[in-house]
Structure 1
Amino acid sequence: MVAAGVAGSAFLTVFLLIFAVLTRRTAGGATQARLSALSAGYGSYEAPVWLQPDLLRANRMSRIPVLEMLLERREFAKRAELELERAAVPLRVAEYVLLRIASAFVLFMFGNLLFGGIIFAIPAAAVGYLLPRIWLSRKRSARISALNSQLPDTVQLISSSLKGGFALLQAFEAAADRVPQPMSSEINHMIKDIGLGSNIEEAIQAWCDRIPGPDLEILVNAILVQRTVGGNLGEILDNVGQTMRERIKLQGEIRALTAQQRLSGFVIGALPIALFVGLFFLNRDYISVFWEEPIGNALLAVALVMEVISFFVIKKILSIDI
């Protein structure tokens, strides 16, 4: 068993070293240097491939050309790229996939060595594969929440600039200089898209696609409609900003009212797992039927499935859209 673990660890180490050598950056020419300078304004992450001009689309999925060709045709790779961008994680899709595989392998070996059975190693590998996805999802949610909380102030700055005689693009530039991160990077990203050839409608719509949520969608629709039919955009944005503030206030009240229910759901969901882990270390023979008998294996599988279902049910019940 120990020999298998050592062999597996050696294989993983060699694989990672080979991958690092193959993906090492090479010195670019003058064109690549110019493109890097143009894309520097995107912030800590790059624009998604479908928003970039052709010359900026190289090595978006992987630094290895073969992997690049394979991944760019896969829908899951495009979804992963969008998730990485929304979370502002500076990883390529191939690196993210490798991270998930490595995490699954490490926890598989850990579960096999610690518990001495494949019945625990496979669930451990599944958890390891999901951990980077959970981390990315939480990071994305936190960043999108921060962006949405900055929208009312951003709208107010844009509205004030428009009332002061600025054009729309100048108003966005003024807002980008004043708002903190991460909104500043997003607005600069949109301005760079315009500078690289997109018209303002396409750039604003791409901005909305990068930040999912009704608030920015309202703002973008208001701007696009005004540019089509006319009207006082400054006054329109004042009304949009007021609507956003009321929604944020209502969301805070709902979170305060449902805090006890969320805590109760967490405790109820974690209690069976904590009890099982405690009994495993304190009195392993008492629960050995779960991995020694076929009926125990079935009961354990049913319990895990019900735990997962209950987690999503409670999360859905407490999710209130405004």
Structure 2
Amino acid sequence: MMGLLLTVVAFVLVFVLVSGVISLVRARRDRVEDVVRGRLQALGHARIKGDGSSLVRRSSAMSDVPWFNRLLMKLRLAASMRRLIMMADAKGTPGAYLLGSAVLFLVFAYLVHALTQSVLGALFLGSVAGSLPVMYLRRLKNRRMDKFTNQLPDALDLMTRALKAGHTFNGSMQMVATEFEDPIGVEFRQTLDEINYGKNPDTALSSLLDRVECPDLKFFVVSVNIQRETGGNLAEIISNIARLVRERFELYGKVRVLSAEGKLSAMILTALPFAIAVILYLINEEYMSLLFTTETGRTIAMISLSVMTLGVLTIRKMIRIKV
């Protein structure tokens, strides 16, 4: 059994290595095309029409390996991973991250099983290791979305001033795209490009909602779509939305202060068992080694870790208050 698992791990590692080399070669070619396109745009030319479709197809590919890309296109998990990568503005393809997760799972599961002879422990720790790439992407996405949310009130204020000064809605979005950095500048620029190239404004704004996970942005998109159908003072509407977002920030700050005690308690309760285990191991190594050298001890340790994980998730859900 272990020999077969080792063979699978070796095969996956070689496959990932070859795929990584191919990805590096193609990424180098993509950078050259980006430089050329950037220079043409700097000279005032429009977007390249001949190779534009190929660039879009390559950027939306699941993997640089054709047959693996066709396989991933049929999986819903790969589509969710692609959306996560897009929202995190991370490099790489869904196939690369999924392969990385598979390799981490197999390697850690094999090592844990070889050291402890525990199938349950190997599956548990392998699953934790396999989820690391997804956790990394979620961390990048949350950081980027938080920055977008923090930029949104100032961007809406700039649009309000631009509208009051006589600019069109597209002109006010262009000012945001020019004056603000990533992520809100990049996302608004992409939305504006979609509108300028013939996409319906309602559809372009809905695409913006799909690319950005920001509840406050929904107020802006819905209000703009309603105003386009019924009319009204758009500058005043956007100004009220900016004020509403700032009030939500203030309420969220109060909630964070009130939930800080619960978070600290969760951190202490989570770290306390591990700290006690380390201290007991230093005091009486023979006593604590029973948890790792006997089947009963390993079972107790895995049950304890599972119950602790369930407790941490419960506490996390209790202290996370949506505003």
Assess same fold via TM > 0.5: yes
Change (3 A) 1:27 1:91: closer
Change (3 A) 1:16 1:69: closer
RMSD of Structure 2 on Structure 1 (CA) = 3.4
Determine the structure 2 residue equivalent to 1:188. Answer: 189
Stretch deviating more after TM superposition (187-196 or 248-257): 187-196
Determine the structure 2 residue equivalent to 1:20. Answer: 20
- In the alignment, does 2:101 pair up with 1:92? no
Change (3 A) 1:4 1:283: farther
Q: Distance in 1 between matches of 2:179 and 2:315?
A: 40
- In the alignment, does 2:69 pair up with 1:68? yes
What is the percent sequence identity of the aligned residues? 26
For residues 186-245 of structure 1, give each alpha carbon's deviation from its aligned partner in whole angstroms, at most 9, with x where no partner exists: 111212333444221111111112222321011111101001111010001111110000
Q: CA deviation at 1:124?
A: 3.0
For residues 259-290 of structure 1, give each alpha carbon's deviation from its aligned partner in whole angstroms, at most 9, with x where no partner exists: 12211111101222333355456644313333
Determine the structure 1 residue equivalent to 2:46. Answer: none
Q: Distance in 2 between matches of 1:21 and 1:194?
A: 38
Stretch deviating more after TM superposition (195-204 or 259-268): 195-204
- In the alignment, does 2:253 pair up with 1:252? yes
8 A Cα contact 2:87 2:211, kept in partner = yes
For residues 161-188 of structure 1, give each alpha carbon's deviation from its aligned partner in whole angstroms, at most 9, with x where no partner exists: 1111111111101111112322111111
Change (3 A) 1:314 1:26: closer
8 A Cα contact 1:219 1:237, kept in partner = yes
Aligned residues: 306
Q: CA deviation at 1:92?
A: 0.7
Q: Distance in 2 between matches of 1:278 and 1:81?
A: 44
Q: Distance in 1 between matches of 2:71 and 2:7?
A: 29
Determine the structure 1 residue equivalent to 2:298. Answer: 297
8 A Cα contact 1:53 1:196, kept in partner = no
8 A Cα contact 2:118 2:298, kept in partner = no
Stretch deviating more after TM superposition (217-226 or 181-190): 181-190
Q: Distance in 1 between matches of 2:56 and 2:177?
A: 23
The 5 Å alignment of 1:32-43 reads 37=37
Change (3 A) 1:203 1:234: same
TM-score between the two structures when normalised by the length of structure 2? 0.82
For residues 264-317 of structure 1, give each alpha carbon's deviation from its aligned partner in whole angstroms, at most 9, with x where no partner exists: 111101222333355456644313333444443332232122111111111111
Determine the structure 1 residue equivalent to 2:83. Answer: 82
Q: Distance in 2 between matches of 1:101 and 1:132?
A: 10
TM-score between the two structures when normalised by the length of structure 1? 0.82
Q: Distance in 2 between matches of 1:12 and 1:260?
A: 45
Q: Distance in 2 between matches of 1:27 and 1:258?
A: 47
Change (3 A) 1:137 1:245: same
The 5 Å alignment of 1:1-322 reads 13-23=13-23, 24-25=25-26, 37=37, 56-58=56-58, 60-108=61-109, 111=112, 115=115, 117-118=117-118, 120-279=121-280, 283-322=284-323
Q: Which secondary structure does the structure 2 equivalent of 1:60 belong to?
A: coil
Q: Which secondary structure does the structure 1 equivalent of 2:162 belong to?
A: helix
- Could you list the runs of 5+ residues in structure 2 that have no partner in the other structure? 42-51
8 A Cα contact 2:6 2:110, kept in partner = no
- Could you list the runs of 5+ residues in structure 1 that have no partner in the other structure? 42-51
For residues 143-177 of structure 1, give each alpha carbon's deviation from its aligned partner in whole angstroms, at most 9, with x where no partner exists: 11111111100111111111111111111011111
Change (3 A) 1:277 1:110: farther
Change (3 A) 1:281 1:140: farther
Q: CA deviation at 1:106?
A: 4.1
8 A Cα contact 1:105 1:128, kept in partner = no
Name the aligned partner's letter for residue 235 of structure 1.
E
For residues 27-59 of structure 1, give each alpha carbon's deviation from its aligned partner in whole angstroms, at most 9, with x where no partner exists: 989xx959x949x99xxxxxxxxxx97972345
Q: Distance in 2 between matches of 1:278 and 1:105?
A: 31
Name the aligned partner's letter for residue 57 of structure 2.
R
Q: Distance in 1 between matches of 2:142 and 2:27?
A: 34
Name the aligned partner's letter for residue 124 of structure 1.
L
Name the aligned partner's letter for residue 299 of structure 1.
I
